Structure 1
């Protein structure tokens, strides 16, 4: 059953790579009509990685399901006038330019607001619309570094690059949520909104607990705290096959189940060892290295001890829980699809088998007028 929560909502998306397209994807999944404007050469994400059917990358296809794509030259005055008319007929403008770019294209905030006072305009950028870094060029790794997302992630030796790029997806999700909230207010007041979202801000907001702890004189170092790699019961271990398994037995009852299952009841009381539990981690590493990841899954997978084998992307597509949730589309050609991650009114989200469609600006404008 198609999701219809945003049925009748018209969205103009002007963005590229991941953040704005991911936000637009969520809105399309929820029933909005999304028209994405790309440069004449197309979103660079089309060429990001190996190209697939249609001459575009798998990543591009995955992020643009259900949208109509137009590729006008926004530097042309006649096209700018058409786009202004399109936005005037829209409910939402979602864009990810650095500050000042829309103004240079004749699509500045004030002009758009005057043409469409009910417009929900969401500006999604790296550092936001104000501040000393608002025009600074950067990508996910930089936003994660600035917002604290890297400092606490990794080993004691160094931070690690996150995958997927957290700020890109988190920023896109924050944009979709904020747009939905603004549309709700508009239903009550008739008033549009201007939303300024910085991906660096979003990353910072995700560090709320760590920021609160940072003022403590005993703030844990990277790789040494309870959920950052310092606890034996909350860690990643290499199995004999070279694969990996995870153990997240934070609560005493889960830790006890695990210890009994591996016949190491002598470890039960050591759950309270001081952090970082270097010696205990080494013991468990030696233990897990004795058997393959699949053997550990057979032994621990059904027990209530917070165990999970680390799945590859290909294995995740066959994970029984995901199959039961009907979140995955079967392979469409050479690429599987992932649906919107929520059941609505007792049913899974609709399929993304139709990834995107090329369209003509004039035809879209005629249909919206």
Structure 2
């Protein structure tokens, strides 16, 4: 089956983080991605997982001849993706004005942490910084301190996913208007969008701003992880009463003797009871008890374990590359597979 972006050409200005990750997904969806590298980057690792599905062009963007060569690529492209600080592409003579004068149908997609405008626009930053000022980082971690959620929330959830969303929306609009547009994807914006579901819980006090004191932040005994006797962990997500009842049954506990799960004041006591039950057996035991049930209880796997999990393997969610290392599967799934 033809991939949805077959025939779409993307020019990617080489960078790191969410830009390449977004272009990986566009390539997975069938786009032809041309990655423009500086001469100093010409020996980059071609087998890097996020750089799959590319062909590469080396260009010194300060050389007028090379710059014109890149403009020629842009003139026939559908999408340009760049992740420089605001103003860099303009100074190189490759900004939206120059690029879209050559190609009015171009979707000019810009990926930054802070966005193209605002007091922090010209400042350096990383994922941890972008999510810190949105409230996201404050909400994640222990009662003692916030804990960075890897760089999944800012760079990838709020960054590359927002960029791909903007590119696809712009391509849909172009099909109607015939005109391209500038997509300003900022990680600080994307991280804020990801918070929508949590923020809507605050007005009725279903969520408060004290860390580790809420339904989804590890405080609830039915939505957290538990250590097993062998040091492994099980993840419990039994929010609904009927799922929670299956957890209690699987653990061999008497529901009538347990603290009230719906009373947050009882959560510490109930957590202790459940923790003791899980700690009585190795992870493999609990996997066999809860596998295939609606208890919403699953093992916490490391990457080497995850790639061999029957469901992950069946979906191709994770795979191994030619060297045997674990890599992310393609976002494209042929319906016939």
Residues 1:9 and 1:161: Cα distance change in structure 2 (over 3 Å): same
Q: Distance in 2 between matches of 1:232 and 1:130?
A: 43
Structure 2 unaligned residues grouped into runs of 5+: none
Aligned to 2:63: 76
Q: Distance in 1 between matches of 2:93 and 2:200?
A: 43
Aligned to 2:193: 205
Aligned to 1:89: 76
Q: Distance in 1 between matches of 2:266 and 2:193?
A: 26
Asked if the contact 1:15–1:97 (Cα under 8 Å) also holds between the matched residues in 2, the reply is: no
Asked if the contact 1:255–1:271 (Cα under 8 Å) also holds between the matched residues in 2, the reply is: no
1:28-76 superposed Cα distances (whole Å, 9 cap, x missing partner) = 11111000112222289x5xxxxxxxxx39xx71101110122321111
Residues 1:269 and 1:32: Cα distance change in structure 2 (over 3 Å): same
1:320-348 superposed Cα distances (whole Å, 9 cap, x missing partner) = 0122223444441232443223434x135
Q: How does 1:192-231 map to 2 (within 5 A)?
A: 192-215=180-203, 219-220=207-208, 221-231=210-220
Asked if the contact 1:41–1:71 (Cα under 8 Å) also holds between the matched residues in 2, the reply is: no
Asked if the contact 1:256–1:268 (Cα under 8 Å) also holds between the matched residues in 2, the reply is: no
Q: Distance in 2 between matches of 1:179 and 1:276?
A: 48
Aligned to 2:225: 236
SS class of match (1:41): helix
Task: Show structure 1 runs of 4+ deviating over 6 A.
Answer: none
Aligned to 1:28: 27
Aligned to 1:297: 287
Q: Distance in 1 between matches of 2:203 and 2:240?
A: 26
Q: Distance in 1 between matches of 2:221 and 2:155?
A: 31
Aligned to 2:131: 144
Q: Distance in 2 between matches of 1:229 and 1:204?
A: 21
Asked if the contact 2:9–2:33 (Cα under 8 Å) also holds between the matched residues in 1, the reply is: yes
Q: Distance in 2 between matches of 1:37 and 1:158?
A: 41
TM-score (norm 2): 0.93
1:212-233 superposed Cα distances (whole Å, 9 cap, x missing partner) = 3445667422111111112111
SS class of match (1:209): helix
Q: Distance in 2 between matches of 1:242 and 1:194?
A: 50
What is the aligned length? Answer: 334
Aligned to 1:248: 237
Q: How does 1:143-182 map to 2 (within 5 A)?
A: 143-170=130-157, 171-182=159-170
1:221-260 superposed Cα distances (whole Å, 9 cap, x missing partner) = 2111111112111111111111111111111111111112
TM-score (norm 1): 0.85
Q: Distance in 2 between matches of 1:89 and 1:108?
A: 16
Asked if the contact 2:260–2:266 (Cα under 8 Å) also holds between the matched residues in 1, the reply is: no
1:210 deviation in Å? Answer: 2.9
Residues 1:293 and 1:43: Cα distance change in structure 2 (over 3 Å): farther
Q: Distance in 1 between matches of 2:281 and 2:205?
A: 41
Q: Which moved more, 1:91-100 or 1:301-310?
A: 301-310
Q: Distance in 2 between matches of 1:283 and 1:296?
A: 16
Q: Which moved more, 1:89-98 or 1:290-299?
A: 290-299
Asked if the contact 1:93–1:120 (Cα under 8 Å) also holds between the matched residues in 2, the reply is: yes
Q: Distance in 2 between matches of 1:15 and 1:276?
A: 53
SS class of match (2:40): coil
Asked if the contact 2:230–2:281 (Cα under 8 Å) also holds between the matched residues in 1, the reply is: yes
Aligned to 1:118: 105
Aligned to 2:9: 10
1:279 deviation in Å? Answer: 1.4
